[in-house]
A and B are shown apart, each in its own frame.
Chain A
Amino acid sequence: MKEVTHINGANARSGGLSKFLQFTKANKNIFIQYSSLILVFSFFMIMSNGDLLSVVNLQTIIRQLAVLFIITVGLMFVFSHGNMDISVGGVIALTSMIVTFTLNAGASLFVATLVAIVVSVGCYLLNIFIANQFKLMAVIASLAIMFSTRGVVTYMVSTSNESIKVEDISKLALFSSNLTFTITSLIVIAIVGIVLFNYSKIGKQNKAVGDNPLAAMQSGVDVKKSKVISYLIAGIMIGFASMFSLARSYTVSENSGMGLEMDVIVALVLGGMALSGGSKSKISSAIVGSITLVLLNNGLIMIGVRPEIVSLVKGIIFLIVVFFILRRPRTEVIPR
């Protein structure tokens, strides 16, 4: 009798392990998605002797997260189409510059925020208009927008006798020093992003278009409209993010927003996003990825990694994530 119980126990344990493995396999992508965050977090927690979670550093991380988080959530709607956007840095620079002029002209913060959103939405609608009208890949259209916006900012900066900066920085206090507002904004944006992406027609249609535009169209999805809506959402988010960006430095230069486009792509890949878009796209990729990237950049300086090997360390971490992602079917990863 005792032997039977023992055998049953062993079977139960074996069944438990089997169930766990099945669960792991079924949720492989979720594990992959969070593995980079867990790896980066654990590594820097150990290396910094826990300083990573000090109050000062947590505040630092939240401040640094704001811009990238909002942008990445916004652009998730574009990337889920299988599209790619590389104009975000230029749009942020142009928007910040116009907001600076608006604030310096005496406008209130509310008006300036509206202006930021209008300018950014304008850029993104122009982006998708060019892509739709001339049947271009969206990335080509975004290239044009990037050069144009960057060109305008560079011209304005180079012809201006004085640096372009916000004269009354107290106007931006809400975005620069109010941590409660920043956290609330991030939470609200995350919730809005999750609801829109996972539970609304907009998100579902986006993913359908990303999987197969023709099939989506034949199923009744207005592909062009779906794309325009996603660019509209991205524009709103990026306009809002530009307020946080400007509040970080109060100045605009030809380098403003430089490299943000790459940060977004890196964040999405770190978050386990399939750049081909489609039904495998998850809004959590934007959330997890942006947190991972900010933690990575923060941690490398926190623990004082030698500058010569910073890129190497980033590369290794990136490689780990890509290694896991590349194990997935090719169509899930490579953009069309």
Chain B
Amino acid sequence: MKTLLKKVLLLTVISVLLAACGAKSNDSSEANDSDKKQTDDGFTIGVMLYNYTDVQGKEIKSYGDYLAEHFNVNFNYATVGTSEEDHIAALENLIASGVDAVISGYDTSLEQSLQLAEQAKVYYGVALGDVRDDVSSEYFVGGLYNFGEKPETIGAQYAQAAYEAGVKNIGVTSFQEFAFVDAPAIISGFKEKLAELDPANEITVYDTEYHMFGPEDVSSAVTKVISDHPEVDAIFGLGSGMDFVYPAILNSTKPDIKVLALGYNDSTPAALENGSVLAAGTNNYSQIIANVFAQLYDRLNGHEYTDWELNGSVDYPIFSSVEEVEDFQKYIVPGDKSNGAVTVEELKQVMKTFNENATWQELQQLTTRTLSEIKEAR
């Protein structure tokens, strides 16, 4: 009897715990009641990402919270697995929960996702990539070129940093092409710019070492570059440059190899300062969410850009000095988003709901501003 009572007590305690945990996703602040009211009166937008614990996830959620404070909208954040089944299940669950629109990080199972969105009359946008032009739906607001419309220019910026640092033998590692479709263009831009900067051909860029997605895969690729080319003095890491390539180099037999990283994390400022990283960059997550949100919100309010195109653009900030990374922290990923890349006031000016003369092109101009342009605007 005592054991039974203990179990009942345990169940009760844990149920209370669960009830406490079951707060709505936007209840991170103490204002539970006001958030609920806002949800009842406004729109709910579902967000689907692999996680909310890395820089990408945290920034997207943080900017979403900022938008929720200033628009009549609430966000329901769902963590999705990598498989198609997981993606579809998460979308179905969001739809069943009553969302009005969905921001998906990825174009996973896009046709089926759009079919579900259409059936539920839910607007859908892809945030972290562009989409093929053979998909269409009146409920689809499109995707985004996360590396700009010309990814070659990203490669060229890294080439400039490599050239200025004076490195001569450069290895390249990247996720497989099928998973990172912009990689060939970025690498191509990198090589072309170096060829232009170095007509005497003193700089060698080795063939790209493609790898899968785990840190161990990246480590193997780095090891292969080093063993195939012992003279290598820099690696252009396109597959999680800061999270995977940089630690792999530090743990390798040649920890003095310089890194050109597609990626950013908390180690970046120190690594730029001590010179082990020559350049790093990351997506401008505020611009990404601002772009998709503006379109979804307008559509929900019955507005649509007349000059709309399937894929919009955002900037990809790259920094190669401590000063630049400080600016990045101050103007791209600040804690207070009202000082960030896209403020609510700026966004409203290019949204049809608040400005009937607004155009899709103006939205793209706002979300492709470079770090220096954003700094100037503040």
Out of B76, B88, B96, name the residue touching A56 (CB < 8 Å). Answer: B96
The reply to whether A249 and B109 form a contact with Cβ atoms under 8 Å apart is: yes
Contacts of B97 in A (CB 8 A): 51, 301-304
Cβ proximity bits A97-109 to B, threshold 8 Å, 1 near / 0 not: 0000000000000
Cβ proximity bits A23-56 to B, threshold 8 Å, 1 near / 0 not: 0100000000000000100010011000100101
Expressed in whole angstroms, the minimum distance between the Cβ of B262 and any Cβ of chain A is 20
Expressed in whole angstroms, the minimum distance between the Cβ of B26 and any Cβ of chain A is 8
Q: How many residues of B contact A (CB 8 A)?
A: 55
The reply to whether A306 and B85 form a contact with Cβ atoms under 8 Å apart is: no
Q: Compute how far the CA of A17 lies from the CA of B313 in the bound complex, rounded to whole angstroms.
A: 70
Contacts of A157 in B (CB 8 A): 178
Mostly, the A contact residues are helix
Determine whether B228 belongs to the interface, using a CB cutoff of 8 Å to chain A: no
The reply to whether B24 and A303 form a contact with Cβ atoms under 8 Å apart is: yes
A43-B22, A302-B93, A316-B18 known; A307 vs B84 contact (CB < 8 Å): no
Determine whether A320 belongs to the interface, using a CB cutoff of 8 Å to chain B: yes
Q: How large is the interface on A (under 10, 10 to 19, 20 to 34, 35 or more residues)?
A: 35 or more
Out of A46, A255, A301, A305, name the residue touching B84 (CB < 8 Å). Answer: A255
Determine whether B192 belongs to the interface, using a CB cutoff of 8 Å to chain A: no
Determine whether A83 belongs to the interface, using a CB cutoff of 8 Å to chain B: no
List CB contacts (< 8 Å) of B265-288 with chain A: none
The reply to whether B84 and A256 form a contact with Cβ atoms under 8 Å apart is: yes
Q: Compute how far the CA of A260 lies from the CA of B83 in the bound complex, rounded to whole angstroms.
A: 9
Cβ proximity bits A159-197 to B, threshold 8 Å, 1 near / 0 not: 010000100010000000000000000000000000000
Out of B24, B83, B96, B176, name the residue touching A255 (CB < 8 Å). Answer: B83
Expressed in whole angstroms, the minimum distance between the Cβ of B102 and any Cβ of chain A is 12
Determine whether B19 belongs to the interface, using a CB cutoff of 8 Å to chain A: yes
The reply to whether B95 and A248 form a contact with Cβ atoms under 8 Å apart is: no
The reply to whether A60 and B95 form a contact with Cβ atoms under 8 Å apart is: yes
Among B6-14, B229-237, B299-307, B355-363, which stretch is in contact with chain A?
A: B6-14
The reply to whether A306 and B84 form a contact with Cβ atoms under 8 Å apart is: no
Nearest-neighbor residue (CB-CB) of A246 within chain B: B84
Nearest-neighbor residue (CB-CB) of A161 within chain B: B178
A302-B96, A304-B97 known; A158 vs B15 contact (CB < 8 Å): no
Determine whether A324 belongs to the interface, using a CB cutoff of 8 Å to chain B: yes
Expressed in whole angstroms, the minimum distance between the Cβ of B88 and any Cβ of chain A is 5
Measured CB to CB, the residues of B under 8 A from A are 1, 4, 7, 10-11, 14-15, 17-19, 21-28, 49, 51-53, 57, 61, 76-79, 81-90, 92-98, 108-109, 111-112, 120, 176-179, 212
Interface CB pairs A-B, < 8 A, 27: A24-B4, A248-B88, A248-B112, A249-B85, A249-B88, A251-B111, A253-B83, A255-B82, A255-B83, A256-B84, A257-B85, A258-B82, A259-B83, A297-B93, A298-B96, A302-B96, A302-B97, A303-B22, A303-B24, A304-B97, A305-B22, A306-B23, A307-B77, A307-B78, A312-B21, A313-B21, A316-B18
